[in-house]
C-alpha cells in the first residue's frame, strides 16, 4: 500500500450546523447574517481527514456515521473553504458528489473554539504539504540551492585579539618550605612557631649547638654568677643534707627556707 493511500484524521467536532445560502450578490464576501441561523437545514458531525495532499471536510450523521456531504480541499485558504465577513464561527464550503456536481453551503459552529480548531487543522495540513514539496525539490536538485563561500578573498585578512589572561593567586594556599613542594600545617593554639629551614646556599644559617656548648650552657645555668642565692647554695657542702635531716625545730626550718631558691 502506497503512502498516499493512508487516510489520517485531522479534526473531529461533534456538532455542526448546515445552511442553504443565497447566491452571492457582490464580491465582498458571504455574510452569515443573511442566513437563517436559528433554523439550520441539517445538524450533524464534522470530521476532517487527509489522504495524500488533499484534505476532506466530511459531514456525517452523529449516530450512524453515514456521509451526508464532503468537500475536497486542495489548498487553504482557497475557493473550497471561505470565511464569512461578519463572524468567525461560520464558513462557506464547496461540496462535491463525485459525479462532477458542486454546490456551496454554509456551516456554523456553536463554540468559537471549535471554529478555531477547524482553521488550525487545515492550516497545519497544508504547511506539511508545502514542506514535503520543498524537500522533494531539494532531493531532485541538491546543487540548486545557494552555496556558502567561507574562503578568504584576495587581499582579505583577519585579525585576532586575544586578551591577557592572568591567573589569580589563591589566597588559601598553604605556606611551603623554600625549595620544596611540601606544605606546612598551621601550629596548634599556644604552640611556639617551629624553626624554618633556610633555603640552600643561604649564609644566615643557624648552627645547632654542639655537645660541648650544651654542657657549658648547663654549667652556666647551674651556677650563674649573677645570682648570689644560687652561688651560696652551690658553695654549701651538702645542700640536700639539711633537707633530709629536717626537724621540727625553728632553727632547721629557717635553715631550710634559706636553702630554697625562689623563682
What is the model's pTM?
0.52
Segment 86-105 shows an average pLDDT of 91
Question: Is the residue at 206 inside a domain?
Answer: no
Q: What pLDDT was estimated at residue 189?
A: 64
Contact 52, 24 (CB under 8 A): no
Q: What is the dihedral of CA 183, 189, 194, 199, to 10 degrees?
A: 40
Range of the domain at 241: 217-258
DSSP code of 55?
E
Q: State which of 14-18, 35-39, 140-144, 217-221 shows the largest mean pLDDT.
A: 14-18
pLDDT top residue among 204 and 82:
82
- Single residue among 140, 156, 188 that ends a domain in this structure: 140
Q: What pLDDT was estimated at residue 104?
A: 93
User: Using 50, 70 and 90 to split pLDDT, how confident is the model at 109?
Assistant: very high
Q: Do 27 and 120 lie in a common domain?
A: yes
Q: How far is CA 77 from CA 73, 104, 245, in A?
A: 9, 16, 131
At 115-156, the pLDDT tens digits run 999 999 999 999 999 998 888 888 777 666 566 677 777 778
What gap in Å lies between CA 93 and CA 203, rounded to an integer? 107
Q: Total structural domains in the chain?
A: 2
What gap in Å lies between CA 158 and CA 29, rounded to an integer? 60
Q: Do 221 and 136 lie in a common domain?
A: no
Query: At 66, which CATH number?
Result: 2.30.29.30
Amino acid at each position: 500500500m502506497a503512502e498516499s493511500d493512508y487516510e489520517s484524521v485531522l479534526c473531529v467536532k461533534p456538532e455542526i450546523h448546515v445552511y442553504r445560502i443565497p447566491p452571492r450578490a457582490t464580491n465582498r464576501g458571504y455574510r452569515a447574517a443573511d442566513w437563517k441561523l436559528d433554523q439550520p437545514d441539517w445538524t450533524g458531525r464534522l470530521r476532517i481527514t487527509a489522504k495524500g495532499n488533499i484534505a476532506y471536510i466530511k459531514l456525517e450523521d452523529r449516530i450512524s456515521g453515514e456521509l451526508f456531504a464532503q468537500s475536497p480541499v486542495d489548498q487553504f485558504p482557497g475557493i473550497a473553504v471561505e470565511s464569512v465577513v461578519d463572524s468567525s464561527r461560520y464558513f462557506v464550503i464547496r461540496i462535491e458528489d463525485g459525479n462532477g456536481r458542486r454546490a456551496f453551503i454554509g456551516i456554523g459552529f456553536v463554540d468559537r473554539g471549535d471554529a478555531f480548531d477547524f482553521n488550525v487543522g487545515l492550516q497545519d495540513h497544508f504547511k506539511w504539504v508545502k514542506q514535503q514539496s520543498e524537500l522533494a525539490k531539494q532531493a531532485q536538485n541538491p546543487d540548486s540551492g545557494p552555496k556558502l563561500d567561507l574562503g578568504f578573498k584576495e587581499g582579505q585578512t583577519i585579525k585576532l585579539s586575544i586578551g591577557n589572561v592572568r591567573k589569580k593567586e589563591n589566597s588559601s594556599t598553604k605556606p611551603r618550605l623554600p625549595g620544596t613542594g611540601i606544605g606546612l600545617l598551621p601550629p596548634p593554639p599556644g604552640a611556639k612557631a617551629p624553626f624554618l629551614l633556610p633555603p640552600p646556599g643561604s649564609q644566615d644559617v643557624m648552627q645547632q649547638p654542639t655537645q660541648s656548648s650544651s654542657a657549658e650552657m648547663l654549667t652556666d645555668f647551674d651556677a650563674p654568677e649573677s645570682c648570689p642565692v644560687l652561688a651560696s647554695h652551690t658553695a654549701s657542702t651538702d645542700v640536700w643534707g639539711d633537707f633530709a635531716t629536717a626537724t621540727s625545730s625553728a632553727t632547721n626550718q629557717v635553715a631550710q627556707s634559706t636553702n630554697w631558691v625562689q623563682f
